[in-house]
């Protein structure tokens, strides 16, 4: 029996319980036909140049060959598959599509720390017992406290796909079911927040041991401070992954088709699109130059075709059963995050560029041959990715220097009319003295390179322009809003 109900405007239904693998081509000496992964290294972007991410020349992207020692002491690569005993594992079609069971014979992501920047997490859920970092590292940036309890549900669902416990006989299994989650709440219980919260969370995650950052959220507003935080994370070896968005079509909360979505389109970020159970492009998944790879995100094929969605964890105070179906690029991103964790456990010295290259080069090419805006380089293949590094030295891929894009100065974009971000610099200090001397302000956050200020309502845009003019350079930006992408919904069946 299917029971329908509404929760916060979302539809809920209550629940009962390749031919020759492409990676082999990489083991040869020639890489002429290997697609080049755009892992987010973007040239300076202006309004006229915001069209594509840069590619690395093939000469800078060799896949390393096995060392003589590795060849002489060849250890047979694990074969077969591992099928967890979790009650609903049979419903996790995304794991089968990505060949996760075959990848688990090599790695389950043991102890790799994944920071989930989202609506928080239900840390009392049994699927996260022993799977979280120390509570001293948790944080709720929306309420400025250390309790990231998820009151919306989205963050818990994302966390489950990435790293829910496995082989505990109940529920589901995450892709990296032996990794650890660092829950950082950057969206409130209505699913929205400021980009400055995400900026602060990225710095917190980087400084406290996270190896991967997952952001299943988005904004159409570019943020220089957020880009700076991402640059900081990537420079310290942290892999940053973000959802491409759910606005392939106009309507249902989308004002335009395929808008550029940040942070997925930012430099250093692996942008993730969504695929269906049949390996097709999900009808909602935003297309764009910044989609690097795709992963299972589900799609609503029929009115109640729950089997085409992604099953994962949900807060027990939202649904008593603790599990729900969902669809969106938000669900696709943690699948890629989980595979990245599997790779980092197998080769801890892999850089963010290495991870992006391996994910794209070993992906199952879908749609038009080669990279395209719908699937990126294809749907991730966990087994192929793990096999590609089994006998190899740690790759050393020369990265393109990260160039910070020109900041957004368009006051028509969504932003708070009373929040500014001021650079921590001598020029900014001089501009502040001349422009804000008689303006009442309040310091909301101190970041490493930026300070978040509250200013009189309605004056943020004019003050930003005056500060930048006085400083002779960009010293101030707006603090735009970020939110969950439209269309995402949860369902359960009973």
The residues annotated as belonging to the active site are: 118, 154, 330
Q: Which of 419, 437, 438 is nearest to 476 (CA)?
A: 419
CA gyration radius for the chain? 22
Pairing of the two strands 476-483 and 415-423 = antiparallel
Q: What's the maximum distance between 2 C-alpha atoms anywhere in the chain?
A: 73
Give residues with Cβ within 8 angstroms of 126, minimum separation 6. Answer: 165, 168, 170, 171, 322
Give residues with Cβ within 8 angstroms of 463, minimum separation 6. Answer: 420, 435, 436, 439, 455, 476
Q: Which of 59, 109, 33, 61 is nearest to 354 (CA)?
A: 61
172 within 8 A of 93, measured Cβ to Cβ: no
The enclosing H or E element of 166 equals none
Pairing of the two strands 415-423 and 442-446 = unpaired
d(CA 177, CA 82): 12
129 half-sphere exposure, CB direction, 13 A CA radius: 8
- Under DSSP, is residue 160 helix (H, G, I), strand (E, B) or coil? helix
173: left (phi over 0), alpha (psi -120 to 50) or beta: beta
DSSP character string of 421-466: EEE-SHHHHHHHHHHSTTS--EEEEE-SSEEEEE-STT-HHHHHHH
Q: Which of 329, 254, 232 is nearest to 290 (CA)?
A: 329
- Helical H runs in 327-399? 329-346, 352-361, 382-388
């Amino acid at each position: 029996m299917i029971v329908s109900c509404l929760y916060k405007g979302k539809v809920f239904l209550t629940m009962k319980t390749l031919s020759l693998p492409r990676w082999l081509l990489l083991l040869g000496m020639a890489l002429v036909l290997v697609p080049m992964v755009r892992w987010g290294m973007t040239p300076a972007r202006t309004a006229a140049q915001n069209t594509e991410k840069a590619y690395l020349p093939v000469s800078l992207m060799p896949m390393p060959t096995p060392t003589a020692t590795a060849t002489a002491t060849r250890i047979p690569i694990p074969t077969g598959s591992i099928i967890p005993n979790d009650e609903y594992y049979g419903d996790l079609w995304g794991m089968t599509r990505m060949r996760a069971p075959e990848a688990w014979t090599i790695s389950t992501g043991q102890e790799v720390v994944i920071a989930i920047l989202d609506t928080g997490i239900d840390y009392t859920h049994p699927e996260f017992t022993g799977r979280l970092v120390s509570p001293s590292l948790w944080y709720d940036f929306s309420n400025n406290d250390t309790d990231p309890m998820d009151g919306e549900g989205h963050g818990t669902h994302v966390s489950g796909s990435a790293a829910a416990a496995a082989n505990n006989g109940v529920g589901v299994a995450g892709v990296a079911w032996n990794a650890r989650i660092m829950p950082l709440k950057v969206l409130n219980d209505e699913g929205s927040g400021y980009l400055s919260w995400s900026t602060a969370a990225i710095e917190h995650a980087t400084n406290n041991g996270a190896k991967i950052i997952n952001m299943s959220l988005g904004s159409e507003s570019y943020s220089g401070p957020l880009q700076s935080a991402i640059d900081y994370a990537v420079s310290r070896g942290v892999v940053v992954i973000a959802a491409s968005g759910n606005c392939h079509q106009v309507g249902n909360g989308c004002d335009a088709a395929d808008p550029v979505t940040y942070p997925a389109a930012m430099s250093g970020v692996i942008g993730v699109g969504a695929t269906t159970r049949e390996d097709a492009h999900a009808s909602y998944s935003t297309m764009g130059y910044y989609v690097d790879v795709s992963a299972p995100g589900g799609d609503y094929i029929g009115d109640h075709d729950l089997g085409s969605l992604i099953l994962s964890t949900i807060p027990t105070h939202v649904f008593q059963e603790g599990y729900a179906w969902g669809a969106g690029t938000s669900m696709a991103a943690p699948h890629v995050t989980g595979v990245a964790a599997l790779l980092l456990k197998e080769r801890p010295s892999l850089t963010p560029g290495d991870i992006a290259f391996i994910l794209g080069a070993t992906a199952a090419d879908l749609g038009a041959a080669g990279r395209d805006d719908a699937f990126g380089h294809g749907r991730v293949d966990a087994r192929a990715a793990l096999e590609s590094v089994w006998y190899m030295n740690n790759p050393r891929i020369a990265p393109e220097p990260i160039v910070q894009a020109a900041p957004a100065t368009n006051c028509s974009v969504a932003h708070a009319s009373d929040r500014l971000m001021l650079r921590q610099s001598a020029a900014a200090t001089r501009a502040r003295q001349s422009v804000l001397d008689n303006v009442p302000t309040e310091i909301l956050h101190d970041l490493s390179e930026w300070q978040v200020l509250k200013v009189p309502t309605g004056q943020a845009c004019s003050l930003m322009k005056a500060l930048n003019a006085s400083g002779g350079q960009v010293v101030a930006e707006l603090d735009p809003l970020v939110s969950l992408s439209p269309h995402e919904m949860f369902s359960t069946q009973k």
